[in-house]
Amino acid sequence: MSDLHPPIDLADAAALSNLIDQVHAAANSDELRSIEQAHLGKDSTIVRARKALGSLPADQRKDAGRALNEAREQLEAAVAARGTALAEAEREVQFEAERMDLTEFVDYSPVGHAHIVTQAWEELEDVFVGMGFRVAEGPEVETDWHNFDALNIPKGHPARDGFDTIYVNYGPRDQEGRSNTVLRTHTSPVQIRTMLDQEPPIYVIAPGRVFRRDTADATHMPVFHQIEGLVIDRHISLADLAGTIEAFTTAYFGPGFSSRLRPNHFPFTEPSAEFDIQRPDGSWLELGGCGMVHPNVLRAGGVDPEEWSGFAFGFGIDRLALMKFGVDDLRDLFTNDIRFLSQF
């Protein structure tokens, strides 16, 4: 028995009550456990008191035994109660120590914005939707039929070479070993898909990503963006095309800007033109290509050229973004340096 917990006479009510006070005052579980061991454990007050019962005269043994049991019960109850209270308090302390503050506030709240190409893309959509166009879509991985044949560029046509096409390793090959699957080189295949998909009248624009086997430099990227326009209706003429380009020019660029068409050639339009935008200072910007949809293209799209006619146009989106924000290297748009992009 340790000096800390000298044996007591359990039959002595004052000594017992004093011991119970000690139990209630135990400062922690360790202290409580040592009191418990000293008085209730193997070599303890209680064990010795029980042994001592044997040496009592028989007539006193029974009462002394009962008193001892009562004392033990009281002591045990006190130890159990204090044990529960201490365990709870100790758990509380541990919780407090291990608590994590998840409410920490870091004053860093960067608000991003759309990429300038996306901004230009969305503005173009807004302007054309305002003019009555719907937005159409097509896949970026395209069949060479949609990208070329249906657009009046049959296999072996020299115009195919001008496109620097990226072929995808998928589908059957031609005699020269090229697959029939390409990354679309322009948004014009969406003309075909839209005609096959819906009856005229058709008034759609189709912005999207296009791909060409080009080395990146200040004015070229192997991936860039175009927006296509397609109108198919009855009695559509070149005047409607010119008027639409002109209306778009003032709506998008603002008053003081105007447009002109210059004769050009595309296999999918006849006649074809290049269209330019004149800035208020008189200078010209070449924007894109356009023309009346070729009858072969209408037929490929399942549209009867005797009944319907239409026009199409297409131009690059990236250059508009460059111009608008005064950037002079196309590559800056796609390096995605946040310090560059966050300026706009």
x-or-dash pattern for ligand PHE, window 244-283, by CB under 6 A?
Answer: ----------------------x--x--------------
Alpha carbon distance 175, 87 (integer Å): 84
Our CB check for ligand PHE shows the closer of 200 and 291 to be: 291
Q: H helices within 135-204, ranges in order?
A: 144-147, 158-161, 189-197
Least distance to ligand PHE from the beta carbon of 176, Å? 23
Does residue 152 interact with ligand PHE by CB under 6 A?
Answer: no
What do you get for the CA distance between the two ends of the chain, in Å? 83
x-or-dash pattern for ligand PHE, window 177-216, by CB under 6 A?
Answer: ---------x-x----------------------------
x-or-dash pattern for ligand PHE, window 286-325, by CB under 6 A?
Answer: --xxxx--------------------xxx-----------
Angstrom distances, CA of residue 183 to CA of 48, 118, 165 = 95, 21, 7
Instruction: Give Cβ neighbours of residue 101 (< 8 Å, ≥ 6 apart).
Output: none
Least distance to ligand PHE from the beta carbon of 282, Å? 26
Least distance to ligand PHE from the beta carbon of 273, Å? 8
Our CB check for ligand PHE shows the closer of 62 and 265 to be: 265
Q: Provide the token pair at 221.
A: 């990227």
Angstrom distances, CA of residue 329 to CA of 114, 219, 270, 338 = 19, 7, 34, 16
Least distance to ligand PHE from the beta carbon of 102, Å? 53
Instruction: Give Cβ neighbours of residue 191 (< 8 Å, ≥ 6 apart).
Output: 151, 206, 228, 230, 268, 293, 297, 301, 312
Which residues make up the interface to ligand PHE (CB under 6 A)? 186, 188, 228, 266, 269, 288-291, 312-314
